[in-house]
Structure 1
Amino acid sequence: MIFSEFYGVYYNTIAAILTEAVAHPVFEQEMKRIIQQYAFEESKVTIPDAIRDEKWQLIKKDGTTPIKNRPSMPLSTLQKRWLKAVFCDPRVRLFGEMQFDFPDVEPLFLPSDVIIFDQYNDGDPYQDPTYIANFRLILDAIRKKYSLDIVVRTRKGKTARYVMAPQYLEYSEKDDKFRLIGADERFGCTINLGRIMSCKPCGETFEPGQEKRIVPKPRSVVFELTDQRNALERVLLHFAHFQKTAEQIDESRYSVTVYYDKEDETELVIRILSFGPMIKVTAPQSFVDLIKQRLIHQKSCEH
């Protein structure tokens, strides 16, 4: 709402008309052209009428304006405070060096004021110089369509090398991590940016559609849900960003199917286990086995 193009459209339109009127008289035909460019279709009726009747006293009947200088659109105090709050987020710096400050205002809020429920604490190192450099290079490669030579550290502590065509970046609020989605000559791949050890251009360019990324078929898990203590509402909210279906079995039980990518499988296991006995996984058997392995591991850690 603060920077809404809909709620600010009349200000921007009138500012454009006044900019022309400062230089030369503006008549109805030119006004309609400007209005069509900046405002809504119905505004071609309301704005000229308001100007013609001098309700706003900005444009005279002869098309001139009493304003001497071109209008500017200064930021309001609320807008400054909002921007200052946004730039307190270290992730903003990933997209480039944007130097600005409003010393006359305080941030509308601070990062410490925002609490994201159930977010992991091992997010990406957004203030690390190497991470920032890798992020900006990847972003440039996505925009300019060139390939990258990337060395990553695997979960087992080993290194792996990819020569890939980056396609897009994906952010997980749950993990607080960025992932790079791309393709090499044989198949598609996903890389966590926090695991990248080195990243450099490899000199090859590619055209859209040239990459041979194979989009993996989404996996699914089916579980029965017992609607106790408002469990159904909590489950639907908890899995809100996953594609899913829910079917009522009886008065208090539901069958829920959640579709997910392979990279999210471990996270999904943890989330399902967090609901305890209110959720029972029924299919596929491979996911049931993952649940069992997780429980056995947790029990062994207790001892």
Structure 2
Amino acid sequence: MELFHEYKNKYFHLVFRILNLAKNGLYKDEVIRLIEKEEYDEKIIGKDFKTFEGMLLNQYNKTDNFNFLEERDGKYYSILNNKDSIPIKVRFSKLEKSWLNGMTKEPVVQALLGKETLEKLEAGLAEVKAGSNQVIEFTNKGKNDFDVDLEKLSKDFYTILEGIINEKPILYSNVDKNGNEYNNQLALPIRIEYSLKDDKFRASLYSLEEKRSIMVNLHTLKEVKIAQNFNSKVKKEDVIKNLKEKKYSKIPITIELEDIRGAMERCFMSLSSFERNSRIISENKYEIDIYYYTFEEDEVIRKIMSLGPYVKVKSPSRVRDIVIDNIKKAFMFETAETIKNINKLS
């Protein structure tokens, strides 16, 4: 697994953040809290069983440590001698700038960023060669059968975002896919998601009336506002913890993976949004436990199958049978298509 791969690994951002925060010094427990909040559940990041925390806090030999921080008077400081207020600044590649320039032309992006932010971006990208994201072809993406009111989307987006940041409940009215109306529902917003596959913004909420987690599409919201003069005793962290306890898979999917043609790196990249525990069982062969919310099982299975012949499901047997059945169906479909194409040529 590559530690410093900007596109594939969250540890790069974690180091970036800690080095900037450590300009004025961080206590050891502050560094540990930052790491625990953002690192993966599996603490081991190398084949020699060393932890990210240990390497960052110089707990091993000098050749094994990252040597990014130095301890002085009980605090850890960045080794960078940059006097700037931000020791490490974000540097975009030409390709990233071109992509960003193309994104600023997207109507939805313009609506969500707002005029002030958009003008700053356009000024910063003034010398970038004009780019358009129309050259990007998306596959397996559904086509919306509804029109998006960009002004309303932006207003609802920032109302929900305010609720998330300040942990304030919201009152919303919504119409679900079956046409059922829900008016003046009280809920605590947890997060906003964007589904590239469905091209939809969704909000994950916790219903304070029904005491359960729900998901609503932003384009189906009739109205949403902050619930004034209402202080909820329910905290976002408690909701997430409760969801994990009730909706989390009690038995992980265990796979065996052979690290051929970068399979291990592709696995970590593909499954980066799920909790995992990994262990070495022999040279270039690993066993990985994948933990997930029960409603995400289909997605986990698809991601496992996308890794190809270098991975096999060891348990549970129910999931293994699903994978085998899916492979058989795919093979039968390909065979039928091949026969159909041969007949056309005859």
TM-score range, shorter chain: 0.5 to 0.7
Q: Which residue number corresponds to residue 122 of structure 1?
A: 142
Change (3 A) 1:96 1:210: same
**1:110 alignment partner AA:** G
Change (3 A) 1:239 1:175: farther
Q: CA deviation at 1:189?
A: 2.8
State whether residues 85 and 107 of structure 1, in contact with CA within 8 Å, keep that contact through their aligned partners in structure 2.
no
Distance 1:280 1:82 in 2: 37
Q: Which residue number corresponds to residue 149 of structure 1?
A: 173
Distance 1:114 1:203 in 2: 40
Distance 2:291 2:225 in 1: 35
- Alignment partner of 1:234: what SS? helix
Distance 2:326 2:291 in 1: 20
Change (3 A) 1:232 1:83: closer
After superposition, residues 71-86 of structure 1 pair within 5 angstroms as none
- Alignment partner of 2:115: what SS? coil
Change (3 A) 1:253 1:169: same
Asked if residue 112 in structure 1 is aligned to residue 133 in structure 2, the reply is yes
Asked if residue 92 in structure 1 is aligned to residue 109 in structure 2, the reply is yes
Task: State the Cα RMSD in Å.
Answer: 4.4
State whether residues 131 and 193 of structure 1, in contact with CA within 8 Å, keep that contact through their aligned partners in structure 2.
no
**2:141 alignment partner AA:** N
TM-score normalised over the length of structure 2: 0.50
- Output one character per residue of 1:4-41: Cα deviation in whole Å (capped at 9) or x when no partner: xx8xxxxxxxxxxxxxxxxxxxxxxxxxxxxxxxxxxx
State whether residues 223 and 280 of structure 1, in contact with CA within 8 Å, keep that contact through their aligned partners in structure 2.
yes
In structure 2, the gaps of 5 or more residues are 1-19, 21-82, 85-93, 164-168, 337-346
State whether residues 81 and 105 of structure 1, in contact with CA within 8 Å, keep that contact through their aligned partners in structure 2.
no
Q: Which residue number corresponds to residue 239 of structure 1?
A: 271
Asked if residue 136 in structure 1 is aligned to residue 155 in structure 2, the reply is yes
Moved more, 180-189 or 283-292: 283-292
State whether residues 94 and 136 of structure 1, in contact with CA within 8 Å, keep that contact through their aligned partners in structure 2.
no
- Output one character per residue of 1:146-174: Cα deviation in whole Å (capped at 9) or x when no partner: 22122221xxxx34555351332134567
State whether residues 253 and 316 of structure 2, in contact with CA within 8 Å, keep that contact through their aligned partners in structure 1.
yes
Asked if residue 275 in structure 1 is aligned to residue 310 in structure 2, the reply is no
TM-score normalised over the length of structure 1: 0.55
State whether residues 272 and 279 of structure 1, in contact with CA within 8 Å, keep that contact through their aligned partners in structure 2.
yes
Q: CA deviation at 1:251?
A: 2.1
| Match 2:201 to one of 154, 178, 185 | 178
Paired residues in the alignment total: 223
Change (3 A) 1:111 1:152: farther
**2:171 alignment partner AA:** S
Q: Which residue number corresponds to residue 6 of structure 2?
A: none
| Match 1:209 to one of 216, 233, 243 | 233
- Alignment partner of 1:256: what SS? strand
State whether residues 149 and 202 of structure 1, in contact with CA within 8 Å, keep that contact through their aligned partners in structure 2.
no
Q: CA deviation at 1:119?
A: 6.9
- Alignment partner of 1:110: what SS? coil
Q: CA deviation at 1:106?
A: 5.6
Question: Kindly, what percent of the aligned residue pairs are identical?
Answer: 22
User: Which structure has the greater CA radius of gyration?
Assistant: 1
Distance 1:228 1:203 in 2: 52
Distance 1:200 1:301 in 2: 45
Distance 1:107 1:160 in 2: 48
State whether residues 180 and 191 of structure 1, in contact with CA within 8 Å, keep that contact through their aligned partners in structure 2.
yes
Q: CA deviation at 1:247?
A: 0.8
Q: Which residue number corresponds to residue 75 of structure 1?
A: none
State whether residues 205 and 214 of structure 2, in contact with CA within 8 Å, keep that contact through their aligned partners in structure 1.
yes
State whether residues 119 and 175 of structure 1, in contact with CA within 8 Å, keep that contact through their aligned partners in structure 2.
no
Q: CA deviation at 1:199?
A: 2.6
Distance 1:227 1:93 in 2: 42
**2:330 alignment partner AA:** Q
Change (3 A) 1:82 1:170: closer
Q: CA deviation at 1:182?
A: 0.5
Q: Which residue number corresponds to residue 30 of structure 1?
A: none
Change (3 A) 1:107 1:173: farther
